[in-house]
Amino acid sequence: MDAHSTTLPTGLGFGSIDQTVFFEGSPVATFIINADHVVTHMNKACATTLGIAAQDYIGKVGLGQVFYGYDRPVMADLIVDGAMKEIIDDLYQNKYRASLLIPDAYEAEGFFPTLGQGGRWLFFTAAPLRNEHGNLIGAIETLQDISERKIAEAALLKAQTEIELVVEQRTAQLAEVNQTLRDDVAQREAAEQTLLNRNNELNALNAKLTEAHEHLIQSEKLASIGQLAAGVAHEINNPIGYIFSNFGTLEKYLADLFHMLEVYAEWEQKTSDKAMQTELKQARDSIELDFLQEDIPTLMKESREGIVRVREIVQDLKDFSHVDKTLDWQFANLNHGIETTLNVVNNEVKYKADVVRELGSIPDVQCMPSQINQVVLNLIVNAAHAMGPERGVITLRSGQQEDKVWFEVSDTGSGIPKEVLPRIFDPFYTTKPIGKGTGLGLSLSYGIVQKHNGSIDVQTEMGKGTTFRVTLPLLQPQPPESDAPL
């Protein structure tokens, strides 16, 4: 078969243009081999791509030499041999694929170092050529120089790699910044925690201050009331003194007068003077002498009780302001004080409650014993007053806790209502009927305990009872020389 004499079928508008004209004119580099591997056609584009003269190769075998620089089949050779399927994997590895357009045709790409200057990248296709009976008569192979694309791809790849590198670096930088930020946040959180702690400390301090302030207010109240009480007590003390003593004399005089009246009454019966008897009877009836004789002693008794009560209140006031006492700090046993005080108030307690003693063995404590006794007395009297109609129990306890000694007066009485509790230490605050309470007991006790650097605590439950606990230090830090007013 002579490729040069092949003509195109007529009727396509080209007249009798030689097929070679198309072949030669095609910009796709193409060559054809026959069944014996002999190159039958090679167009100009192909010769240019391979950098050879076509006539040097047409009619010959071994084009592989041109591509590879050594004797090796090209793809067209493999197709002609029908050996493609077995060998293609070896020769072209994964850089080939079957054509999507022509059965048994393949395409691949590869780098050919011996082509051109410094080698060329080629994309090539090879397809079987068959005659009208379907017999294989040769193969056609096309080549396409893709070096520029490859260079561009490589450049792209390089750029991409560089970008990836930059991205990596940036990511690392970001991670670093992120870490710094995280450290910052952690530091800030730590600072915040410190602030929070500081705040809590301040709050605690504030609470202490408030407490101290309340104590101050309490002792200020006590101080002013103390001065007032001292003045009032002083003013009232003298008049009450002579009223009291005059009262005694008056009672005696009255007794004498009543005696005298009895003598008169006897002689009234004895006399025979009717006019005198009548006048005396009239006078007696008009002043209701019988009633007077009955009522005057009652009035005197009530008045005496009243005066005694006033004297007690004045005494309370004096105790409260400590005006008439020079007191010494001494070591005394609280249990002893409690026992003596119980004897004194026995009268107040015995009809209302049984007394239970749960006194621990405690060391002597530095105190002003008469004042501490006063506290015990106030607490016991209050406990007795708290009892209802039923007989209750008053429990007296004492004990030691480290460098402190405490005692408790616990009752099974009414308990203290919530609204009353904040006021019980206020001077003159009382819930008791007039005449029964002065409202000074607890404020007095509070002042005394405070002066001893101790504390008073209350626990109470409505209907169950109340416990007052007094805690005193065993030793006074700096006991004052004398007892100054509060």
Q: Which residue, among 446, 440, 369, 379, has the nearest Cα to 407 in the 3D structure?
A: 379
Instruction: Quote the least distance from Cβ 384 to Mg ion, whole Å.
Output: 10
C-alpha angle 442/446/451, rounded to 5°? 150
Q: Output the residue with the shortest Cβ distance to Mg ion.
A: 441
Give Cα 187 distance to the centre of its chain.
19
Give Cα 155 distance to the centre of its chain.
61
Instruction: Give the nearer residue to ligand ADP in terms of CB position, either 382 or 471.
Output: 382
Instruction: Give the nearer residue to ligand ADP in terms of CB position, either 57 or 425.
Output: 425
- Among positive and negative, which fits the CA dihedral 85, 90, 94, 95? negative
Instruction: Quote the least distance from Cβ 440 to ligand ADP, whole Å.
Output: 6
Structure tokens at 342: 């119980």
Instruction: Give the nearer residue to Mg ion in terms of CB position, either 226 or 441.
Output: 441
The binder of ligand ADP chosen from 204, 432, 457, 480 (CB under 6 A): 432
The binder of ligand ADP chosen from 429, 473, 479, 483 (CB under 6 A): 429
Give the interface size with Mg ion as a residue count (CB under 5 A). 2
Q: Which residue, among 301, 307, 286, has the nearest Cα to 255 in the 3D structure?
A: 301
Instruction: Quote the least distance from Cβ 431 to ligand ADP, whole Å.
Output: 3
Instruction: Give the nearer residue to Mg ion in terms of CB position, either 34 or 467.
Output: 467
The binder of ligand ADP chosen from 163, 216, 255, 420 (CB under 6 A): 420
The binder of ligand ADP chosen from 416, 449, 470, 472 (CB under 6 A): 416
- Asked if 382 touches Mg ion (CB under 5 A), the answer is yes
The terminus-to-terminus CA distance of the chain in angstroms comes to 142
Distance (Å, whole) CA 209 – CA 380 = 32
- Asked if 439 touches ligand ADP (CB under 6 A), the answer is yes
- Asked if 414 touches ligand ADP (CB under 6 A), the answer is yes
- Asked if 442 touches ligand ADP (CB under 6 A), the answer is yes
Q: Output the residue with the shortest Cβ distance to ligand ADP.
A: 441
Cα distances from 12 to residues 15, 18, 28, 191, 342, in angstroms, run: 7, 13, 22, 92, 144
The binder of ligand ADP chosen from 64, 110, 399, 437 (CB under 6 A): 437
Instruction: Quote the least distance from Cβ 300 to ligand ADP, whole Å.
Output: 27
Contact status, residue 57 vs residue 67, Cβ threshold 8 Å: no
* Interface with ligand ADP in residues 46-85 (CB under 6 A): none
Instruction: Give the nearer residue to ligand ADP in terms of CB position, either 297 or 392.
Output: 392
Sequence length of the chain is 486
Please give the DSSP secondary-structure letter assigned to residue 3.
G
Distance (Å, whole) CA 371 – CA 364 = 15
- Asked if 411 touches ligand ADP (CB under 6 A), the answer is yes
Give Cα 10 distance to the centre of its chain.
99
Strands 392-401 and 353-359, bridge-based pairing:
parallel
Give the interface size with ligand ADP as a residue count (CB under 6 A). 22
Instruction: Quote the least distance from Cβ 439 to Mg ion, whole Å.
Output: 8
As beta bridge partners, residue 469 has: 408, 457
Strands 404-411 and 465-473, bridge-based pairing:
antiparallel
- Asked if 441 touches Mg ion (CB under 5 A), the answer is yes
Instruction: Quote the least distance from Cβ 335 to Mg ion, whole Å.
Output: 22
Instruction: Quote the least distance from Cβ 424 to ligand ADP, whole Å.
Output: 4
The binder of ligand ADP chosen from 65, 219, 430, 459 (CB under 6 A): 430
Binds 371: which of Mg ion, ligand ADP, none (CB < 5-8 Å by kind): none
Binds 429: which of Mg ion, ligand ADP, none (CB < 5-8 Å by kind): ligand ADP
- Asked if 441 touches ligand ADP (CB under 6 A), the answer is yes
Contact code string over 458-477 relative to ligand ADP, x by CB under 6 A: --------x-----------
Instruction: Quote the least distance from Cβ 413 to Mg ion, whole Å.
Output: 12
Q: Which residue, among 426, 394, 424, has the nearest Cα to 410 in the 3D structure?
A: 394
122-129 contacts at long range (C-beta below 8 A, 24 or more positions apart): 122/49, 122/146, 124/75, 125/75, 125/99, 126/74, 126/75, 126/76, 126/78, 126/79, 127/79, 127/99, 127/102, 128/79, 128/80, 128/104, 129/32
Binding part of the chain for ligand ADP, among 17-25, 141-149, 428-436, 472-480 by CB under 6 A, reads 428-436
Instruction: Quote the least distance from Cβ 408 to ligand ADP, whole Å.
Output: 11
Binds 143: which of ligand ADP, Mg ion, none (CB < 5-8 Å by kind): none
Distance (Å, whole) CA 259 – CA 59 = 183
Binds 438: which of Mg ion, ligand ADP, none (CB < 5-8 Å by kind): ligand ADP
Query: Burial of 18 by CB count in 10 Å (0-12 exposed, 13-18 middle, 19+ buried)?
Result: middle
Instruction: Quote the least distance from Cβ 244 to Mg ion, whole Å.
Output: 24
| Interface residue list for ligand ADP (CB under 6 A) | 378, 382-383, 386, 411, 413-414, 416, 420, 424, 429-432, 437-443, 466
